[in-house]
Structure 1
Amino acid sequence: MPGTPKTVTKLLEVLSSWLPSLRTRFVLLVAGLFVVLSVVMIMVASYLDLKDEEQRVVSDARAIGATVSRLAVPHLTNHHYLILEQELESIAASGVVELAQVLDPSRAVTIDSDPQTSYFDDRETLPLVRKAFETGAEQMHRSGKSVEIALPVRDMKADQVLGVAYVSVTRASMDGMLFAIWGRNMIITLVLLMVSVPVTFHFAESFVRPIKELTQTAHTVSAGNFDAPFPVERTDEIGVLARAYRDMVATIRNNMARIHELAYVDSVTCLPNRESFRQHFNGCMFAPDGRANRLSVLFVDLDRFKRVNDSYGHDHGDALLQEVAARLRDLLNTVGSPTGSAPASAQTVQVAGQGTSAPAPLVARLGGDEFAIVLPTGKSGAAIRTLAEDLVQCVEQPLEINGLTMTVGASIGVSTYPDDGDDYTAILKNADIAMYAAKRTGGNRACFYNEIEGDTRAGERIRLEAELKVALLRDEITIVFQPKIDCASLKVVGAEVLARWNHPERGMLLPGSFIDVAEESDLITRLGDRVMDLACRQGRVWLDQGRSVPIAVNVSIRQLEKPGFTARVLEILDLTGFPAELLQFEVTETVAMADPERVTAATRPLLDAGITFAIDDFGTGYSSLAHLQRLPFNTFKIDRSFISGLAEDHHSRSIVQTIIAMAKSLSYEVVAEGVETEDQLVFLKENGCTTAQGFLFASPMPADRFESWSGAFLQPSSSAAGNGKDGETGAHFAA
């Protein structure tokens, strides 16, 4: 019947929603099958019982008929009708026989069991009797109420038919028989059902119990406990599934450990990296009782390191960094905490002047030739000053690198929490400022932030902030577009929007010159609105020209959390007519992972409107898989630092491959930033990266030039699209 499979499927879906328990479904399935089989059994048994009952009635009729026939032989021979009549009446008195008759054709006399009649009465011979006499054979007729049988009465000695014996046997009521049969069979079925249901429940429970245990183990693993035991000793299908789960969890645990290492540990020096340092500092800020711990951050920058890299190559530079890292670590372990309470390798140290404990000192590599140290400090800071001087002397000692003697220095900037800042960002920034002050005075020395005379950087930032406010009023902020290229087809599939400041005195400024100031001064929201408005207007222009270009815009957490940001975005989309489906917001990984719940809440309304989200600079921070699954992102943007190292750094290749594999498992798209060589593009294509952007294709360009460039890209004439970093790269793919 048309539509029946769909109807059954829909019915099963409804039943599944009503009966979520596997045990309940199993028991109901067994009970249903039992009921169906019982009904079939009752019907078959009833049919067979009816057939047996009918056969019994026929057998009784034949037996009684044969008895009447034998009794009638002497009486018909001697014509003793009265005696025969009395015998027939006694046979009918049993209640089984409805009527018994004997026909004597020689005298046309009919003797029966009815006391109301007499054999002298003139009666018509029954058709069945007549036919038996004529044929000399048994005749039978069945009806709903009785079974009639007529048998010839034979004189066996004379081989002569003397007459016909007729018997009508009453049949029991069909309804009564069915009721009795069904009642009996129903009682049997109910008894069996009462016995089988508890047995089925017990069997279902024993069947489902290992599945429940396996599910509980899976929940334990998902909560982060990868050592949860699996029932791998079973030999059935549950055991096979458990072993598959165990192997999968082992693989995930190894991958997580590898990702954790790549995210937290510097691949060159094996020291903690920037993200690890940030988390460690944040964890040290407060004592268990809520009071602020005094912490000092020493920002160490190597002097003359670039000369080593340029003269001897990166392998010598990496070896030098490894040696410096070992010296820094050994020095901290030797002197211990500046307060003198515990060695640097201890898990906790006592903070001077306080009775609380704080995490141990930590040395980390922030990147390049920059290191940072965080450790507890006393109020005087004398121990920190001594340690800083020891660090300078430690680093300036000659180093033996691959048979060569090399010397470098160290410029150290020191800032103290909470004296020089109230959070990690402020403390590290001020330590950086102090380090540059040390470099300006010749380097190879330490400088404390609170001792800097006149913070020239602070003055510069204040001036830049004032100029940025004017720039926003004068529309000096413009945008450029860097194309995104499909790695497989090499077609333009979108563009990232980047801000530019057309400064009246300094010329065109890149975002790195003013974004930090904008975020600190809360001008980031006005700047973001300006960039978004310009981008959406240009996207609408391209749509009107018949070109659909997806656009990606960078946003900060300050913008996302600003009240009215969602309404402002939707207003810009409405005013410009640019579709929300073509707009993507990029949020840096550090921001996204710092507070995933807050980011999710801020982005949800925009996601519902159709806007997509990408994690920018992915790989530079530490992303939890549990957080990634909950965050409303669908794109990873691999940081350019990993792409630039693909050629010579196997760690960068491993990181990129891991990120792409992770993206595939989460159904994310992957965009590689900073692609500058064809070897990098080939590596990305081979490993499944979907999209790339970088100077290999084109540098960021204004909208009018983007139109002409994208029109000429991959065309024979595209080699003339530009020169240098701004346009020469398109020629790699010409013709």
Structure 2
Amino acid sequence: MTISCELTEARRLDALHKLNLLDTPPSEAFDRITRMAASVFKLPVAAISLTDADRQWFKSRVGVEHTSIPRLRAPCAQVADSSDVLVIPDLLTDDFYRDSPLAASGIRYYAGAPLTTTDGHCLGAMCVLGTEPRDTTPEELTALCDLAGMVMAQIELQHALGRIDAVSGLPNRHQFIEDFADLELDSVDGEQRLAVLVNLATPEQVVHATRAMKSSYLDELVTEAARWLRAEIGPHRRIYHVATAQFMLLSPPGATLDTIVPVVKARMQDALFIAKARHMATPSAGVVPFEIGRADSMMVLRKAQSAAHDAIDSSTHVAVYSQVEDALYQRRFRLLNDFVAALDSGDQLRLVYQPRIDVASGQCIGAEALLRWNHPELGAIGPAEFIPIIERSELAQATTAWVLEAALRQQQAWRACGLVVQVSVNVSAANLLEPAFAASVAAGLARCQLPADCLELEITESAIMEQPVKAHATLTQIAALGVGLAIDDFGTGYSSLSYLQTMPADVVKIDQSFIRDLADDKRQQALVTAMITLSQDLGHRVVAEGVETEAVLAFLRRAGCDEVQGYLFAKPLEPAAFVQHTHQITQQNKQARIASLSDI
């Protein structure tokens, strides 16, 4: 066979396997056509014969006991190769077929019409056979071709009835659900089985690939993966295409985690090697044990997807379903959904304020507004749990709007009673990409009749780096209003020094991870000293976060740090407690000054 012929045959077999007809149960729709063929030709044998790699398999048959015969020297194989009608009046007088197994079994007459797909792939033949030589009339040949057309219409109808994915050619999620329910008919109730889900790429990779590559990229990835999976699993196991880039298969009876997981890991290493050519694809696999009769198909699918997601970060890219990890994910999903109601509730969310202390004077000159959430059923939800979830969601902009409005209203109330401090509000990456974010900040200040310098916005470097051009444009607009800007979590990014030169920021806040063990770590002290000096040389005030001991405060004072905040001074306080605390600090500083003057 030439390379061209080999490629044509490979594509023909792929088209055949995509239809999932081989080794399937009898179908009355096909049997009716086969009976009609035998009747029209008045012959004892008729069959719908599909040409596999090494056999002729009968989807429907009349007058034949066996379900398949070897492909070698089978007339239907010639039909598949040529895509033409084949008539052999007498096999015993044919030079090629006189010694075939078919002739040896007593068959003398053969007529076959090709079963050809719309793509031009011949799957096999609609054939009739007889034990006596005979001629064939033109009308009979026309009828045989019509019957072959009816077979193909039936095949394509079944293929299109919502059970086969058009791209991969594999049974889809609907078929998976149906077959999963049928497991109870053929298995013992409570028998343990395993589901394995193969995920071709992360959701982010799918989105980026669709945007960056040609439109057919994902289709090609799915087609290649389906072909690879069929080759790896074998023709007698069903694979389901259950989502855009996800495939599911069920283990055979008797399989255990100990026997299946090593096999999946080995296959996944092969998949990772193949995927390197794609660059943008990172396959992973999730394995889920379940009990027949006691598990829901969609729950098994969800758990498998959860395990496959967990597997992305594992060394083998394979993970067994973890109830603990799934429970955490379910909680995160619930918190995200419930936060929508929290934004509208009026009583679930509130702001607390952590004082910022001027190192030189000891005065409270500012406060960082921090969001708190009291869930009606789950109670207090820590910000370390819910803030990262919100920042990665579409709720980030609405959350910042809520916090900004609440902080400005609080500023308005404090100033009305004589308390003048600057309030800092954290801003997410999503806000920096809002075209009208600076305008909304200006509108909020105007509504509350507040000066721009009463507000400071804190931005992390990572937020800026997502889309630096747009972020810098927004920050420049905000700076033009007179609103303060602070670089939050300084030192944790990848290019802090370069951004210090270009950002229109007034303040640099050194992340608490550099401050926590500062008192006893000489290398940390040298690093923080350098950060303070460099930031101030570039015109920024420096705030140290997470100050908890007098020893750390003493070092920061010697290093020239401008401001500090942390538990040494106060935990985040409710608005009334913040006012009381600020007045208390003012009073203490006043008494300290009086005492120092009396000592002179």
TM-score where L is the length of structure 2 = 0.47
Q: Relative contact order: is structure 1 or structure 2 higher (C-alpha 8 Å, sep ≥ 6)?
A: 2
Larger Rg: 1 or 2?
1
Greater fraction of residues in helix: 1
TM-score where L is the length of structure 1 = 0.39
